[in-house]
Structure 1
């Protein structure tokens, strides 16, 4: 079974692209969704994150905005947070692999925003980068509720630049040309992965 990494900077259309793989019958593991689940009421990360970062748990769940303020630009705090969250999402990822193997899947897509930043590409057979023109990316992200140019710049500063991601990718899905064009690119990639 091939392990395919799917990544892309904020606002590039990665979630939409992941959905296209799902629609094509490919199992997809979504790291962000697992983190959201771990932070929600009853989630496995709530208690340990609350202990490590007092005051970030509100109404039984992790206040992501408050947590973001604590770790953004603070490498030590981010290291502590990753030490809590990575094992939790790792268990969820293992469960997806197990289900995919039982179903006889020939590949699994791992939707992981920070593949290159964490060295995760070494664990993938191939890496797909989702990209779009920079002005389109900014417009998409700044349209999100609560997003500011300063916050976007802080997030981008933590991510590998898009040009570098594209250069390191085995495949690139350009979402700047619309959904139909992106879907056609995904179909071609799946065909190519099955040929090789």
Structure 2
């Protein structure tokens, strides 16, 4: 089973991903894959340089993520262009990873992708889990996490599909506005209801040993 894990920026999706890791569930992290496809010497980085200029490349040859982020989150057409470059490369890499897990008959894999809906990846998922928090909490967390002012933070939030729309499309919703224990309890409940309670039992036995 492939569970698509998504949410709005700074809603705490990574915290939920860590809970799954704690139960030894394999995670395919779209952000990590996205970094891989734009490493120095890759087709992705070359295409970004060609599209947006040398100013997006740092002296050491790596991508200047801050400069690129400042550009694409203030210009929707630039974000669309960037997604057109990286999207296919990310999809190819994810498909290869999923094929490997299927060959090994892994029962559950989580695909952790912040732009699952925006990148049209939802159709490949068996179920979709959306992590949500109230809008003000999301804004405050993003400003604190990425050291952004309110305008910059709102630009990043508005560059994604509205969180309320993601919730509507979800098979399961995780409310991450309270304690970590409450969030974990929701994940455990889903694992049990989805037929993966053995993962919890196995982890509990490992801890006892």
Tell me the residue number matched to 1:24: 23
Correspondence list, 1:90-129, <5 A: 90-129=91-130
Deviation at 1:73, TM superposition (A): 4.1
Tell me the residue number matched to 2:141: 140
CA distance in 1, matches of 2:44, 2:118: 22
Name stretches of at least 5 consecutive residues in structure 2 with no aligned partner: 197-209
CA distance in 1, matches of 2:130, 2:160: 13
CA distance in 2, matches of 1:115, 1:106: 21
CA distance in 2, matches of 1:17, 1:145: 19
Deviation at 1:43, TM superposition (A): 4.8
Q: Which moved more, 1:66-75 or 1:56-65?
A: 66-75
Deviation at 1:75, TM superposition (A): 3.7
Tell me the residue number matched to 1:36: 35
Name stretches of at least 5 consecutive residues in structure 1 with no aligned partner: none
CA distance in 2, matches of 1:90, 1:81: 14
Task: Give SS of 1:118's match.
Answer: coil
Tell me the residue number matched to 2:173: 172
Tell me the residue number matched to 2:207: none
CA gap 1:137/1:72 in 2 versus in 1, 3 angstroms: closer
Tell me the residue number matched to 2:12: 13
Give deviations 1:100-158, integer Å, cap 9, x for gaps: 11332122211111222233322222110001222322221111243111011111112
Tell me the residue number matched to 2:52: 53
Deviation at 1:42, TM superposition (A): 4.7
Give me the TM-score of the superposition, normalised by structure 1: 0.88
CA distance in 1, matches of 2:97, 2:185: 26
Give me the TM-score of the superposition, normalised by structure 2: 0.83
CA distance in 2, matches of 1:15, 1:158: 19
CA gap 1:86/1:53 in 2 versus in 1, 3 angstroms: same
CA contact (8 A) 2:87 2:119 kept: no
